[in-house]
């Protein structure tokens, strides 16, 4: 819930035409490549070094079933994607229930270790006030908290009205592959 509230600010800054009832999606992806520099099998840690020589040690929890297959020198790729889907719902229009699912892990069946971790949250807020001069919007979360956010583009709130419901779905995924 806290993460989606943080994303709420982002969603109002997105280049989404709020007057359209169809959902709008914005996503970002970042890829990081590193080489395994050290492995501590007893502590189940892996030290990774990136192309700039920076290193980080990560814990490989018990959910990493193929830990023993990792070798120093293996190339590892991390691809992180996050997306926000925003839909403005007019009063009386049915609303999808809020949800916060547990992370889902899908392990690679390939020759090398890998997998994907995904998580999705959906939240509904009610628009309480719009200040087109700033521009800003004030919304109320389902738990009663009220928050205000500055909007980057006045056009985004042009056709949004008080009491409109905004459904926000935040998805994040991390794909890890060993070459």
Mapped onto helix, strand or coil, the DSSP state of residue 25 is strand
Average pLDDT of the chain to the nearest whole number = 83
Q: Is the pLDDT of residue 170 over 60?
A: yes
Extents of the domains making up the chain: 2-32+75-178
Residue-wise pLDDT tens digits, 111-127: 999 999 999 998 888 88
The residue that leads in pLDDT, 142 or 155, is 142
Quickly list DSSP for 35-99.
Answer: EEEEEETTTTEEEEEETTS-EEEEE--TT-TTGGG--TT-EEEEEEEEEEEEEEE-TTS--PPPE
Residue-wise pLDDT tens digits, 29-82: 999 999 999 999 999 999 999 999 999 999 998 888 999 999 999 999 999 999
What's the pTM value of the predicted model, to 2 decimals? 0.69
């Amino acid at each position: 819930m806290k993460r989606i509230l943080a994303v709420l600010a982002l969603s109002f800054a997105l280049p989404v035409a709020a007057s359209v009832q169809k959902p709008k999606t914005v996503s970002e992806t970042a890829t990081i490549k590193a080489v395994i520099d050290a492995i501590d099998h007893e502590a189940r840690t892996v030290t990774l070094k990136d192309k700039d020589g920076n290193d980080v040690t990560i814990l490989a929890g018990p959910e990493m079933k193929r830990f023993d297959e990792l070798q120093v020198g293996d190339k590892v790729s991390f691809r992180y994607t996050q997306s926000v889907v925003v839909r403005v719902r007019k009063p009386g229009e049915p609303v999808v229930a809020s949800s916060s699912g547990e992370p889902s892990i899908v392990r690679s069946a390939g020759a090398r270790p890998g997998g994907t971790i995904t998580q999705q949250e959906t939240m509904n807020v009610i628009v309480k006030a719009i200040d087109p001069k700033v521009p800003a919007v004030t919304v109320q979360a389902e738990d009663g908290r009220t928050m205000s956010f500055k909007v980057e583009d006045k056009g985004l709130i042009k056709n949004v009205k008080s009491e409109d419901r905004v459904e926000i779905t935040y998805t994040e995924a991390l794909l890890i592959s060993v070459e």
